[in-house]
Chain A
Amino acid sequence: MHKAAVIEVSKFARLTVVWLSIIFGAVWAASWLVGVALPAWIDQTFQPSEVAAAWSNTLRLLVPIVAVMVFIPINAMFMVLAERRALALFTVRKGPNRVGPDGLLQTAADAVKLLFKEDITPRGADAVMFTLAPILFFAPSIIGVLPLLAAVSNNHSLFSVANVPTGIFYVLAVSSIPVVGLVMGAWASNNKYSLVGGLRSAAQAISYEIPLVLSIITVCLMAGTLDVVQIANQQEAGLLAWNLLGGGAISKAAAAFASGSPAAAMALAAALLLAVSMILLFLIYITGACAEVNRIPFDLPEAESELVSGYNTEYSGIKFAIFFLAEFTNLFVVCTIATVMFLGGGHGPFPGLDKSLADWLGGFLGALPAGPVGWLFNSLIDPATLIAAFWVILKTYTLVIFAILVRATLPRFRIDQLMAFGWKRLIPLALILLIAVTFLKELV
């Protein structure tokens, strides 16, 4: 390996670590401020009274919203930068490296630039729709991630309000709204390229939502619940318990096989088949998700070499920035869904590892001297949540990097090939797997 390549990779790693600490430090600090510090201060200053309790409870309720609102812009900035740097890595270039140390602040500068650009509404455009479209495109990605927040933070008390019993159902329902905003913006732009892009995106979203939802439904079927927190917690016992490998079926069947029960061989075969089906379903999910968030090779709605820029051709300034923001947030959301549904959420690949890590961290925190410092650290850091957050971040951003790698490699489909691939390959396969998993689950 070239020395220059090693340097570039290490620069990329450093950039990632710095940005991730900024993002999650900011999110956690904001949540702590709103959910712990402020209520505590209110409770202390105003003696326990009904009004004070109501105020602090309201603040606690607001925590998930605050966390998401802080998270989304910073995260999008990081993802744009990471995408550009990673693409540069994959294509023997350097990437943006001038603004700030090593190009660290490039996207912050870009964001400022976009904010100061003139916001143009083209002549003949439907101004109301034109303005509403980016909002409608962006809003679902804020509301949609709320239940996931509970799942990825190990159902931390600050975020558990956001959990709903039919969590994944809610997430999927919300995540299909953005396409309406897309078509709206495309139609309102009064531009033919935009219109074609919008029509394409509608067709594409409808086609690829089906295999995507089918694969998620299969997971729910296996887990027996729609609650994302429960689904995540069911995958607690290490790699084999992840839904990707059949949600613990293998270890169960292997135990039965070891104990020598008569139907064990059959059960073991079924468990292995189940694992294979789930891996296939995961791939279907990834494909559908790529299409859902308009990533290469499914970026037909904004195919640059054909449609200039598709639905956002006419957008500029802040509206364009919102489209951009939402696109990257959507990518992050689908990767988080994959993490929670298939990759064990906030649980590590080895059983017991998380527990011992959390114990060690808890012991460390407990050993801190009492007083303001100890209180600060103990109220700031919850060991189990920290470990869970670490795993989620690792898994999710690995998927994001994978999406970038795909973008760096593949050309684009043609619209009819895309449709044929969706309807003739993915949907039948997903249906077959759904039925297969139903039966295999009973056989284990």
Chain B
Amino acid sequence: MSTELLKTSGLKTDEMIINMGPQHPATHGVLRLLLTLDGEFVKHCEPVIGHLHRAQEWQGQNRTWFQYQALIDRVDYLSGMFTSWALAKAAERIDGLKLPLRAEYMRVIVAEMNRISSHLLWLGTYLIDLGAMFGFPFYPFREREKLLDLFEAIAGQRMMFNYIRIGGVQREAPPGWFAKLKQFTQEFPDRVDEYEAIVTKNPIFLKRTKGVGILGKELAMEYGVTGPSLRAAGVNFDLRKFKPYSVYDQLDFEVPLGEGEGDTWDRYMCRVKEMRQSNEIIKQCLAKIPGGTSEELRERRRQCNSCGKDDCPNCGGDLRIMVKKQNAGLRIKAGEGFDAVESPRGILGCYIVSTGGDTAYRFKWRNPSFSNLSVLPALLVGHPIADIMAIFGSLDVILPDVDR
């Protein structure tokens, strides 16, 4: 390496300080990296965040619960279902709510769909980070578009869903939705095969990712890294398996782990496998959901004329989708609690202190991107400039999720 040669030969070289971002095309939004470079190699890196700070916690404390549910999707715009779910879960834990089974299944279905769509977008943008500029990235978007259409049909929105609410989910799926989703789950594995055919064994891709940005077990655990980035290092820590919530304990799935020491390629592989896994989970949910598809349920409810009574075998019990009244007067009992879900990026948690009023007393979001980004300086040192985006992209950081 030329740098070593320079050191031994006694020649003096100068360091260069580069401001990467906040308007750099590849920093996924508005991250600013203060880099100290020695030639092309990074000597020191300091991430400067907060350019997208929208005071989500402050807003939560100044808005009613009902308003805040709609706002919170914006924290992580690629996986809005999970932020809503974390909020709902923490609030339900304080309130001691038990959800009907159909609502839980609906939550799992939409959340896993959201996980797939988030990973698809990551895959596309990650290849852009690696310089596959205009070619491949659009294929994942093709499938993502189908998922977004399904989201639009069920929640009325393509990205800011506001679908998962405290005490259930917003509404029943429209007729034909389940059939469309089923068709998607059948096609999807072939599509993933397509991506893998073009990317996984591409020699340039392998060269750029194998052995680059090794995030080992110890380092990851020291920094509180979670999600696929942690699992790629071989730590079997997936909340869905580790502390099964919702109906995940009734579903049969494996947590994909990285095969190597946690390099960039492992993180890529982990996410690709997770997409397949989520697809399987959706399939199982579609088979197991109580009440079946929305058309079947509608047919059953015709018998009781959609009475809506809690003890009705067609309308009540596990076939409801909402147990708490949703209006501006929504309140949560006094108390405090922390609960988390496994989002596409890792542990997404919400710490709520409630005093029983119409707003929360204190919100604290535990965002996976925030912790995952904090490990970046440790990973970058010693790598060339070109690897910055390969490593940063592989952590799958969403800047609004970091800055809130």
Contact = CB atoms under 8 A, between A and B. Distances in A.
Nearest to A192: B18
B25 A308 contact: yes
A168 interface: no
A414 B41 CA distance: 12
Nearest to A417: B207
B198 A409 contact: yes
A177 B129 CA distance: 31
Interface string B191-208: 000000010001011011
A305 interface: yes
Given A296-B133, A410-B204, A415-B384, A304 B139 contact: no
Given A192-B16, A196-B385, A414-B387, A305 B25 contact: yes
B135 A305 contact: no
A296 B24 contact: no
B34 interface: no
B237 interface: no
A422 to B, nearest CB: 14
Contacts of B208: 411-414, 417
Contacts of A297: 131, 204
B131 A299 contact: yes
Given A196-B385, A306-B389, A415-B40, A91 B18 contact: no
A37 interface: no
Contacts of B136: 91, 408-409
A296 B132 CA distance: 8
A93 to B, nearest CB: 6
B131 A296 contact: yes
Interface in A386-421: 407-417
A305 B128 contact: yes
B91 interface: no
B110 interface: no
Contact of B386 (A193, A303, A308): A303
Contacts of B387: 414
B225 interface: no
Contacts of A412: 130-133, 204, 208, 386
Nearest to A309: B25
B26 interface: yes
Nearest to B383: A414
Given A192-B18, A417-B207, A92 B138 contact: yes
Contacts of A417: 207-208
B134 interface: yes
B142 interface: yes
Interface in B355-404: 384-389
A411 B134 contact: no
Nearest to B209: A411
B315 interface: no
Contacts of B130: 305, 411-412
Contacts of B272: none
A228 interface: no
B207 A304 contact: no
Contacts of B24: 308
B127 interface: yes
B303 to A, nearest CB: 45
B385 to A, nearest CB: 5
Interface in B98-155: 127-139, 142
A307 interface: yes
Given A193-B18, A410-B202, A304 B142 contact: no
Interface string B137-181: 111001000000000000000000000000000000000000000
Contacts of A196: 40, 385
Given A92-B138, A192-B16, A412-B130, A304 B25 contact: yes
Interface string B23-42: 01110000000000000100
A414 B133 contact: no
A305 B384 contact: no
Contacts of A416: 384
Contacts of A304: 25-26, 131, 133
Contact of B132 (A192, A306, A308, A410): A410
B140 to A, nearest CB: 11
Given A297-B204, A411-B205, A305 B131 contact: yes
Contacts of A307: 385
A413 B25 contact: no
Contacts of B388: 306
B134 A91 contact: yes
Contact of A411 (B131, B139, B384, B385): B131
A326 interface: no
B389 A305 contact: yes
A87 interface: yes
Interface in A266-306: 296-297, 299-300, 303-306
Nearest to A299: B131
Nearest to A297: B204
Contacts of B127: 411
A408 B388 CA distance: 23
Interface string A185-216: 00000001100100000000000000000000
A407 B134 contact: yes
Nearest to B17: A192
Contacts of A415: 40, 384, 386
A-B interface, 8 closest residue pairs, ranked by CB to CB distance from nearest: A412-B131, A408-B135, A305-B26, A411-B130, A91-B138, A411-B132, A414-B386, A87-B134
Interface of B: 16, 18, 24-26, 40, 127-139, 142, 198, 202, 204-205, 207-208, 384-389
Given A91-B136, A296-B132, A409-B132, 15 more contacts: A91-B134, A91-B139, A300-B386, A304-B131, A305-B389, A306-B388, A307-B385, A308-B24, A407-B135, A408-B135, A410-B135, A411-B131, A411-B202, A412-B131, A414-B387
30 contacts: A87-B134, A87-B135, A90-B135, A91-B138, A92-B138, A92-B139, A193-B18, A297-B131, A297-B204, A299-B133, A303-B131, A304-B133, A305-B128, A305-B131, A305-B389, A306-B26, A306-B385, A308-B24, A308-B25, A407-B133, A408-B134, A408-B135, A410-B204, A411-B131, A411-B208, A412-B204, A412-B208, A412-B386, A415-B40, A415-B384
